[in-house]
Amino acid sequence: MQRFDLLARCGRARAGRLTTPHGVVETPAFMPVGTAGVVKALTSQQLAEAQAQIVLANTYHLMLRPGDALVAELGGLHGFTGRQGPFLTDSGGYQVFSLTKLRQLTEQGVRFKSHIDGSAHLLSPERSIEIQNNLGADVIMSFDECPPWPAPREAVAEATLRTTRWARRGLAAHKRSDQWLFGIVQGGVYGDLRERSARELMELDFPGYAIGGLSVGEPKPDLLRVLEGLDGVLPEERPRYLMGVGTPADLLEGVARGVDMFDCVLPTRNGRNGQLFTRRGRLSIRNARYRADPRPIDPECACPTCRTVSRAYLRHLHLAGEITAATLLSLHNVWYYLDTLRRIRQSILLGRFEEFRAETLRTLAAGAAGDGD
């Protein structure tokens, strides 16, 4: 029922096809983040019109509210949300480890207090898998320990070894054959720890591998170095998912190093804050220069926002605090990200990725000084 096929390569960039029980995902792919089962400010119909192939939902948040048992009772994420396309759920590890004042780490798992009502919970490898089995996503993640940056090498090494031990436990607890469980490679910015983590997870024969613990503050050259190292280690025939990354430039650099899947909150978070992505760089709709500007956000964009409304109107809505602003701005950003990945994929299939990458990076760098104009 699930399979991953590599269709083309251009350098280290890969174009593939991930087949899931709820649809096909053409890779490289970007997953809009639907933390609580919804991409903030957007409807499932709007996501479908933007051709969002797969959406990420969050184990930690859905466990706390409305509860994974209720979601299971109502048909899993697909029945509960009404969205019939593929879902991926994360393990909850990143969220609980970010609750430094509310959690206690042991080999058993992580005990923490809910940020909603202060109730006590234990999230273990087994419980994370149970929740994700209940949520019913097409792709689910092993429970991992995500060390902060910076962190001493000893602490990162300990977290990496624990992640492998937890991966074994999670794999043993996994009960559904219609879900692919990915292992998560940890190891911080230490190349040898990353390689050890990857090789130990490969021995467990996961159908896919996620790369976690990056884009947490480390210098960009370290992120790229880690990806380059893992590209030569991870199995070619399995999908690779870079978690929580990133900017349009990050996507290009990740694809250039063999990554197939990405997620990030930037499109929707930045949209709600009036920060927009365009083919010419970023644009702040709050800028006074757009007060009477009749142009669309990006004249090259085919999204509903750019087809229907002006920068002046969007600026007015945003400054007035209108809810519609969050929808229109987020829709543009998500559309831009998804379109960028489609163009990246096409360039790989045509054997022109390196040319496309260089040209796009030049344009984005030039636009950084001109506010997207």
Q: Which of 90, 138, 144, 339 is catalytic?
A: 90
Q: Which of 250, 263, 298, 339 is catalytic?
A: 263
Are residues 239 and 6 in contact, defined by beta-carbon separation less than 8 angstroms? no
DSSP 301-350: --SHHHHH--HHHHHHHHHTT-HHHHHHHHHHHHHHHHHHHHHHHHHHHT
| Total Cβ atoms within 10 A of residue 322 | 13
Q: Which helix (H) or strand (E) holds 249?
A: helix 248-256
Q: Is 138 a catalytic residue?
A: no
Give whole-number Cα distances, 297 to 59, 242, 315, 342, 349, in Å. Answer: 34, 29, 10, 20, 29
Q: Which of 336, 297, 288, 335 is nearest to 316 (CA)?
A: 288
Convert 195-225 to b/e letters by CB count within 10 Å (16 or more is b).
bbbbebbbeeebbbbbbbbbbbebeeeebbb
3-state class (DSSP) for residue 38: coil
Q: Is 192 a catalytic residue?
A: no
| Total Cβ atoms within 10 A of residue 286 | 12
Catalytic annotation, residues: 90, 263
